[in-house]
Amino acid sequence: MRLTPPRISSQRKRFWTALRWIVGKSSTPRRSNRFAHRLGFVVEALENRLFLSATDTLLSSVISALPPSTVQVGGDGSLYFRLGNQADAGVFRGQGGVALEGGGTDVDQAFQWMIGRMGGKGDLLVLRADNSDGYNSYIYDFGGVNSVSTLVVPNRAAAFDPFITQAILNADAVFIAGGSQNLYLDYWKGTPVQSALTANIARGTPVGGTSAGTDILGQFIYSADYNSIRSAAALTDPFDPSMTFDRNFVAPGLIPSLSNTILDTHFQNRDREGRMVSFLGRVDGMGWSVNNRPMGIGIDQETALLIAPNGQAQVVGNSGVRATQGVEFLQTPGLPQVIQPGQPLTYSTLNGLDVPVGGTFNLSNWSTSFANPGPNSVPFTVSVDKGVLTRSGPIVSVTSSIVPSSTTSTPSDPAPSFQHHPHVVHRQFQQCAGQDRQPAGCSLRGQQQHRGRDGHHQSAARDLLPFHSPQRGGGWDDRGSDRPEFATLPVDQRWWNIGSGGDID
CA distance 346 to 120: 51
Q: What's the rounded mean pLDDT across residues 118-141? A: 93
- Which band of pLDDT confidence, cut at 50, 70 and 90, is reported for residue 394? low
The answer for residues whose C-beta is within 8 angstroms of residue 492's C-beta and 6 or more apart is 419, 468
Domains of the chain: 10-65 (no CATH), 69-331+354-375 (3.40.50.880)
Are 321 and 353 in contact, with CB atoms under 8 Å apart?
Answer: no
The answer for residues whose C-beta is within 8 angstroms of residue 86's C-beta and 6 or more apart is 68, 70, 147
Are 481 and 472 in contact, with CB atoms under 8 Å apart?
Answer: yes
Q: Check residue 77 and give left, alpha or beta (phi > 0: left; psi -120 to 50: alpha).
A: left
Q: Which residue has the higher pLDDT, 78 or 395?
A: 78
Per-residue confidence (pLDDT) for residue 52, from 0 to 100 = 52
The answer to which of 55-64, 244-253, 346-355, 362-371 has the lowest mean pLDDT is: 55-64
Element containing residue 356 per DSSP (H, E):
strand 347-356
How far CA 340 is from CA of 285, 336, 344, in Å, comes to 9, 10, 8
Q: Is the pLDDT score of 483 beyond 50?
A: no
The answer for residues whose C-beta is within 8 angstroms of residue 189's C-beta and 6 or more apart is 246, 249
Q: What is the SS3 assignment for 126?
A: strand
Per-residue confidence (pLDDT) for residue 417, from 0 to 100 = 27
- Report the amino acid identity of residue 470: P
Per-residue confidence (pLDDT) for residue 400, from 0 to 100 = 24
- To the nearest 5 percent, what fractions of the chain are helix, strand and coil? 30, 25, 50
Element containing residue 271 per DSSP (H, E):
none
Q: How many CB atoms lie within 10 A of CB 70?
A: 12
- Please state, rounded to an integer, the average pLDDT across all residues of the chain: 74
- Which band of pLDDT confidence, cut at 50, 70 and 90, is reported for residue 493? very low
Are 281 and 238 in contact, with CB atoms under 8 Å apart?
Answer: yes
Tell which residue, 56, 82, 88, 52, has the closest CA to residue 69. Answer: 82
Q: Is the pLDDT score of 21 beyond 50?
A: no
Q: Where are the alpha helices (DSSP H) in 224-333?
A: 231-236, 273-285
How far CA 22 is from CA of 2, 28, 43, 498, in Å, comes to 12, 12, 14, 80
Per-residue confidence (pLDDT) for residue 123, from 0 to 100 = 97
CA distance 182 to 212: 9
Q: Of how many residues is the chain composed?
A: 505
Q: Is the pLDDT score of 111 beyond 80?
A: yes
Over pLDDT 70: what percentage of the chain? 65
Q: What's the rounded mean pLDDT across residues 210-238? A: 95
